[in-house]
Structure 1
Amino acid sequence: MTHAVREGFSVAELRVALSRLDRADTPATWLGQLVHQGMDQLPMPGRGATLQRWQALCAVAEHNLSLAKLYEGHTDALAVMVELAPSATLVAGATWGLWAAEAPDGRAVVEVTGSGGAQLNGAKRWCSGAGQLSHGLLTAWWPDGRGPQLVRVDMHGPGVGTSHTGWHAVGMAASASGDVAFDGAVVECVGADGAYLERHGFWHGGAGIAACWHGGAVALALALKRALLQAPCASHNAFRLAALGKVGVALQSTAALLRETARWIDEYPTADASAMALRVRLAAEGSARLVLDEVGRALGAAPFCRDADFAQMAADLPVFVRQSHAERDFAALGERLVSPGGPSWAL
């Protein structure tokens, strides 16, 4: 069954659009083309169609993870602005980055100017698409330490400089992640001080990342399935079949949890979704790691060396899932589970 993302836009149509992207272009160019086609207009999370939103994220991730990184950030930025500044005017055709990571060696500081506007100084690290996207939505801090304050900025405006010298990973290199330096850049505040973290959609967006990780893992699992279909009588297929069985259990479990989480968010859109988001993110990370290991063991070195798409996905996925906070997230989930009235886990 094809699930509609919005009127006139289905996941099947999105997959067709993805298949038509020119492989020679960059993920930022691909994002611009999807935006031009209106395929960035996903349902808002928590309004009855969260699963359809995540199906789109999964489909893009299955195609290319660097594109998924930019597409997820862009669509999340649009959702944040609808939530915090619904009356704000957006530039038609703009491509947005959402940058909220806080690095110890970089901080963006926002100040009110004499004319009543705002300007930004300092640095922002880990900005996917920096230098290639048209606009940025990022967390900044006031000079007295209050924050985070969400601001939006024209990336082509004065006082904005980008650098990619700090990125050395092969995986996710095409996401063009880098550092942005601000020197009196004109910005517009979005929402109140602290509103970015306090809004209901914060954890909804965090959970959506799991759909991207899941999509990357699905792409690798499908490579194993294709290998089995192409060589049904190979003597080593018993080992590959066992690997596919393990992969199938992991991915089906994660898919079921993604569907359950999406349904819960739609049923309780204003409830604390932190435990649900942490759970599905950790599950998706775990299944992605299992898929990477099992598919690699089953197929050997050949696809890593001779299949460009497989090799890229296998390099990108480990880097992308490190957006998870690993044991810190497990501890954060444990804190929520130990509270009175937590889940019993019984059927």
Structure 2
Amino acid sequence: MTHSPGFASPLPPLHQALGEAVGGVRSAMDAGRWLRVLVDQGCDRLPLPASGRTLDRWRALARVAAADLSLAKLYEGHTDALAILAELRASAPPPHSRWGVWCAEPPDQRVEIVPQAGGAARLRGVKGWCSGAASVTHALVSGWNPTGEPCLAAVALDQLGVAVTDAGWHAVGMRASASVDVVFDDVPCTLVGEPGAYVHRPGFHHGGAGVAACWYGGLERIAQTLRGALPAAGADPHRLAHLGAIDVAMAMARAVLRETAAVIDAHPHEACALECVRARLAVESAAAQVMERAARALGAGPLCRDAGFAQAMADLPIYIRQSHAERDQASHGQVVLRREGAPWAL
């Protein structure tokens, strides 16, 4: 049985549900509670990537991120899991279940997925970087079968043999995402797709660009804080200069996200890898400028007295380090180098 989330516009219910949540998520418990609220109110039924409404999906992700980045981390993971299950034609998730996607592959934490009969499997090992582990009910977990092939498994977390630890996360930024280690002691699970299907599907890159939409939402929160701190007339010219530069950086990142969403929708069966990586790098570049200029324009006051702004400024650098910095840039440059034609023709 396959499934597809509903395609009603996600933004009106999100605006309503997040109205009282803005600035209120400060711990893992709160982030998990608000994730449950969003799921129970149907705010997770986003258009699938490459469905013709990718931009609507990304607007929803950005809206949650503008409210709180740790909540966005859990929400993006949950909605990404729903998209992965749909793309790989897996069974529909249980109603009101909340999902994580735990597919980081640190070299010292290699999880074993041992296939059984009928699509079942057993999960063994310690999985690192498990965002929202104490808040979600299910997870998609990457691992390796006995022949060394990469696999993906769906696992319910309310089972014997699953131990959510408090190890693996000590950062102040993104603390409420609680990305800790989880131990799987021969836990029953279900295979999702064929070996390698998770990374080779087009949606792998589409989802990566969706994460950049979350980063963009965090930047909106930061930029709006500066804009709201300036009077309509008589503002300090140095602050105005910073605001002007921030507007340009935001507009450039937004244009790349919109263009990328359109390309994905125009080529739904293609990875659009160049465009997706470009979108991530464009938002990352904008983030560096927006965060530096906002801090210089506002000074220490909001960083010390505005809890929401201070949290966003602490969270976003950690969230963005989900990218691979110069390695992503070098890989992207190699693709650009090999591409035929004039890549920058207007």
Quick check: TM above 0.5?
A: yes
Residue 35 of structure 2 is matched in structure 1 by 31
Distance (Å, rounded) in 1 between the aligned partners of 2:64 and 2:96: 19
Provide the rounded CA distance (Å) in 1 between the counterparts of 2:261 and 2:246. 22
Query: Which amino acid in structure 2 is aligned with residue 79 of structure 1?
Result: A
1:289 deviates by 1.3
- Bigger drift between 126-135 and 49-58 goes to 126-135
Instruction: Please tell me whether the aligned partners of residues 152 and 187 of structure 1 are also in contact (alpha carbons under 8 angstroms).
Output: yes
Describe how 1:112-131 pairs up with structure 2 within 5 A: 112-113=115-116, 117-131=120-134
Structure 2 Cα separation of the partners of residues 118 and 48 of structure 1:
35
Identity %: 47
Give the CA deviation at 1:12: 3.4
How far did 1:291 drift?
0.7
User: CA–CA distance in 2 between the matches of 1:330 and 1:342?
Assistant: 20
Match status 1:16 vs 2:19: no
TM-score (norm 1): 0.93
Q: Output the CA distance in 2 between the equivalents of 1:129 and 1:210.
A: 19
Counterpart of 1:59 in structure 2 is 63
TM-aligned CA distance change 1:342 to 1:119, over 3 Å: farther
How far does residue 6 in structure 1 lie from its aligned partner after superposition?
5.8
Q: CA deviation at 1:121?
A: 0.5
Change (3 A) 1:217 1:107: same
Secondary structure in 1 matching 2:324: coil
Q: Which residue of 185, 189, 193 corresponds with 1:191?
A: 193
Q: Could you say which residue in structure 1 is the equivalent of 2:109?
A: 106
Letter in 2 for 1:217: L
What's the secondary structure of 1:179's corresponding residue? strand
AA aligned to 1:137 is: L
Contact 2:253–2:282 at 8 Å: present in 1 too? yes
Letter in 2 for 1:173: R
Partner of 2:137: 134
Unaligned runs of 5+ in 2: none
Contact 1:9 1:39 in 2 (8 A): no
The aligned counterpart of 1:272 is: 271
Instruction: Give 1:8 deviation, angstroms.
Output: 4.8
Confirm or deny that 1:203 pairs with 2:205.
yes
* Structure 2 counterpart of 1:292: 291
Query: Using the alignment, how far apart are the partners of 2:69 and 2:51 within structure 1?
Result: 26
Question: Kindly tell me: are residues 115 and 328 of structure 1, through their superposed partners in 2, closer, same or farther at Cα, counting changes over 3 Å?
Answer: closer
How far apart in 1 are the matches of 2:223 and 2:114? 49
Shift of 1:177: 0.8
Aligned: 1:143 with 2:146: yes
Q: How many residues align?
A: 338
Number of the residue aligned with 1:283: 282
Give the match for residue 51 of structure 2: 47
SS of match in other structure, 1:44: coil
After TM superposition, the runs of 4+ consecutive aligned structure 1 residues lying more than 2 A away are: 5-10, 20-25, 112-117
Q: Deviations over 1:233-291 (max 9, x none)?
A: 35xx1011000000000000100110000000000112231111110000101111111
- Checking the alignment, whether the CA contact within 8 Å between 1:243 and 1:295 is kept in structure 2 is yes
Question: Hey, what does 1:346 align to over in structure 2?
Answer: 345
Residue of structure 2 aligned with 1:90, choices 93, 101, 118: 93
Q: CA deviation at 1:318?
A: 0.6
Question: 1:155 deviation in Å?
Answer: 1.1
2:10 and 2:89 map into 1 onto residues whose CA distance is: 27
TM-score (norm 2): 0.94
Alignment check: 8 A CA contact 2:161 2:186 kept: yes
Alignment CA distance shift 1:284-1:342 (3 Å): farther
| Counterpart position of 2:329 | 330
Q: Deviations over 1:279-320 (max 9, x none)?
A: 000010111111110000000000010011011111000100
Q: CA RMSD in A?
A: 1.7
Query: Does the CA contact (< 8 Å) of 1:336 and 1:342 recur in 2?
Result: no
Structure 1 residue 28, shift from structure 2 partner: 1.1
Whether the 8 Å CA contact 1:213–1:321 is kept in 2: the answer is yes
Provide the C-alpha distance between the structure 1 equivalents of 2:342 and 2:69, rounded to a whole number of angstroms: 33
194-203 or 13-22: which moved more? Answer: 13-22
Q: Which amino acid aligns with 1:134?
A: T
